[in-house]
Structure 1
Amino acid sequence: MNLPDFVWLWRIAAWSMGFSLVAYFLLAASGIWMFYLRSTRLERPSWLQPLHYGIGGTMVALVLLLLTIGIVGTLGHYGSLNHSVHLPVGLAVVGLVLLSAGSATQIGSQHRWARSFHIGTNVILLVGFALVSLTGWIVVQKYLP
């Protein structure tokens, strides 16, 4: 297919990646706030946890949108996948986001492991987002004139 047919797709991907990064940092800020309130035994505002969950759900949706765009765009442009290291790095980020979201649903007194697993996954996810941003930038350079 012709590249101009896919320019709109790359724009959606760029905005989705930007919003995913914003969501990640908002989640980090609200997560650190919840951790602080928990460790100091201060009362947590009733809206904080639902906000954290809502932003997290939005980030999951954005990352899945990015996965879809990457697959459709790459198949449409090249006819096959795995033309760069961006694919395995992107799949790792998708996996980490899903692990983080899944572990978030398990946090509670019955699953004491879930909170530390969730936090650890999100620390690794920061590295994943950095790598996927770098490799994505390299891929985008192939499409720009």
Structure 2
Amino acid sequence: MDLPSFLWLWRIAAWSMGLTLTGYGLLAATGAYWAYRRRQPDPPSWLRLLHLTLGVTLVILVLLLLSIGIVGTLGEYGNLGHSVHLPLGLSVVSLVLASAWSASRISVERPWARKLHLALNGGLALALAGVGLSGWQVVQKYLP
């Protein structure tokens, strides 16, 4: 396919990645605040809803990025796996989905779920850094 027809796709990917990083930062902030407030009497109810909404949004954005990457790469090259960006991207998708699953398991009866959730999110920070750097290299291939 002709490259200019894919520029709109790369713009969506760039915005999605920016929103993903912003969402991750907001999730970290609301999660830290939630951890602090849950030790206080009467934590605000809006905080949990905000954290969950941001989490669902992050899952959707990451799945959107995955689909854009697959469609764009297949459309441009005809196959996948041209850089380290693919395995790093797949690790981000896996970590986000595992983090969402572990978040759904958090309860008083399952104290391991909170620890797992935090550990997965720590790994996600590293994976997002790697996918951001490798994504920058991929973008350079498409720019004139």
Secondary structure at the residue paired with 2:40? Answer: coil
User: 2-side partners of 1:20 and 1:55: how far apart?
Assistant: 10
TM score, norm. by length of structure 1: 0.97
Deviations for 1:24-74, whole angstroms, at most 9, x for unmatched residues? 000000000011123x43431011001100000000000000000000000
User: 1-side partners of 2:8 and 2:132: how far apart?
Assistant: 19
AA matched with 1:81: L
Counterpart in the other structure of 2:114: 115
Counterpart in the other structure of 1:87: 86
Structure 2, unmatched stretches of 5+, are: none
Which ranges of 4 or more aligned residues in structure 1 deviate by more than 6 Å? none
TM score, norm. by length of structure 2: 0.98
Matches within 5 A, 1:4-23: 4-23=4-23
AA matched with 1:136: G
Secondary structure at the residue paired with 1:41? Answer: coil
User: 2-side partners of 1:70 and 1:8: how far apart?
Assistant: 13
Secondary structure at the residue paired with 1:83? Answer: coil
Structure 1 residue 112 displacement after superposition = 1.1
User: How many residues align structurally?
Assistant: 144
RMSD: 0.7
Counterpart in the other structure of 1:71: 70
